[in-house]
Amino acid sequence: MLWELGKLHSLNRITESLNDSALTAFLGTVTVWDVTEEICRAASRLDFRSDPADELIAATSLVYRVPLVTRDRRLRASQVVPLART
């Protein structure tokens, strides 16, 4: 989620901001989905609780059947969310 990238930057957890040209160029190569009613419903089917942004990201992964890449232990323990395997 773009909001989360902006938030992480404002909290100094990542160095790239949404104004950085490299990040802007990268974002032009990825699909960014809107938060839809279907995604909000899917969030209630998750088998973990986390911050709302992580839940929406996981629900988006679930709805679009796109493997999620994360270091978050709660998300990685999910039996519902499709996770990328390394």
Mean pLDDT by groups of 10 residues along the chain of 86 residues: 87 92 91 94 95 93 94 92 87
Would you state the pLDDT for residue 4? 84
50 to 4, 16, 69: CA distances (angstroms): 14, 24, 16
- What is the structure's pLDDT at 2? 84
9-15 long-range contacts (CB < 8 A, ≥24 apart) are none
Tell whether pTM > 0.75: yes
What does the longest C-alpha to C-alpha distance in the chain come to? 37
Instruction: Kindly state the DSSP code that residue 68 receives in the 8-state scheme.
Output: B
pLDDT at site 86: 65
The pLDDT assigned to 9 comes to 92
> How many whole angstroms separate alpha carbon 13 and alpha carbon 28?
22
For the chain, the domains span: 1-32, 36-86
Q: What is the pLDDT of residue 15?
A: 92
- The predicted pLDDT at position 3 comes to 85
For residue 63, which amino acid is it? V
